[in-house]
Amino acid sequence: MSQEQDKIFFKNFSLTLTFIAAMMIAFYFVANAAVQSKFGLVAGDTTTVNTNVAELTEPVGRVVIAGEESESVAAEDVVVADVSTAEGTDGSNGESVYNGLCVNCHGIAALAAMIPQTGDTAAWGPRIGKGVDVLYGNAINGYTGELGMMPAKGGNPALSDEEVKAAVDYIVGQVK
Ligand code: HEC
């Protein structure tokens, strides 16, 4: 190797080393800034380090049973209905019958003009006024009213009368 070549090599090699050193310094500051903005930590400062393991490992969400909710229910928590509150006389679950079928018509706000929507006081007030037995009968046997046709058992003949009644109870219970 000639001396000239040595010079060129040395020049390139030191440029490369300088570049790597500059990158290391840059990375140090970038990482420091990132940690600081996310955790409020400053490099070398151990006083602000959060050593509360319970807080650091806290789950982001929990399953909460509706009715047992505490004030600590967070937005991420999944609230599930307490199934035991919506049972019919024979143990059939009105809410799950409702959610399995009736919700497809009675739980779609866009259809409010054609189907009385669950929770709609104006739509249900007069119906409830007819007496719950009339509602049971019309839900079980089907009926056609001013708005349209309520299919017998919501269109599922496999449902027992008790299940349909429980679902009616659930709907009536949603009217405030
Ligand atoms: C295919 C759509 C559809 C499904 C599914 C459906 N309904 Fe209905 N339901 C209607 C319509 C439409 C009316 C309103 C009829 C009217 O008054 O013009 C109605 C009315 C009712 C009424 C009021 C009856 C009255 O006398 O005023 C009850 C109670 C009822 N539905 C319960 C249920 C229950 C319980 C289920 C599930 C098992 C169910 N519906 C499923 C369409 C549906």
* pLDDT by 10s per residue, the chain, length 176: 588 899 999 999 999 999 999 999 999 999 888 877 776 666 666 666 666 777 777 777 776 666 655 555 555 656 555 444 444 455 568 999 999 999 999 999 888 889 999 999 999 999 999 999 999 999 999 999 889 899 999 999 999 999 999 999 999 999 87
Q: Is the CB of 155 under 6 A from ligand 1?
A: yes
- CA of residue 19 relative to chain centroid, distance: 49
Residue 56 has a pLDDT of 73
- pLDDT for the residue numbered 37: 75
Q: What is the pLDDT at residue 86?
A: 43
Q: Could you tell me the distance, in angstroms and rounded to a whole number, from the CA of residue 84 to the centre of ligand 1?
A: 24
Q: How far is CA 6 from the centre of its chain?
A: 67
Q: From CA 35, how far away is CA 28, in angstroms rounded?
A: 11
- In this structure, what token pair is assigned to residue 3? 């001396």
- The per-residue pLDDT for 84 is 42
Contact predicate 116/124, CB 8 Å: yes
Angle at alpha carbon of residue 134, lines to 128 and 140, rounded to 5°: 115
Distance CA 117, CA 113 (A): 9
Whether the CB of 174 sits within 6 Å of ligand 1: no
Task: Quote the pLDDT of residue 2.
Answer: 80
Q: Which two tokens stand for residue 43?
A: 């490099």
Is the minimum distance from the CB of 115 to ligand 1 under 6 angstroms? yes
Ligand 1 atom nearest to CA at 170: 35
Q: What is the pLDDT of residue 60?
A: 74
Look up residue 25 and give its two tokens.
């310094």
Pocket test for ligand 1, best of 97, 105, 111, 130 (most atoms within 8 A of CB): 105
Rounded Cα distance between 49 and 56, Å, is 11
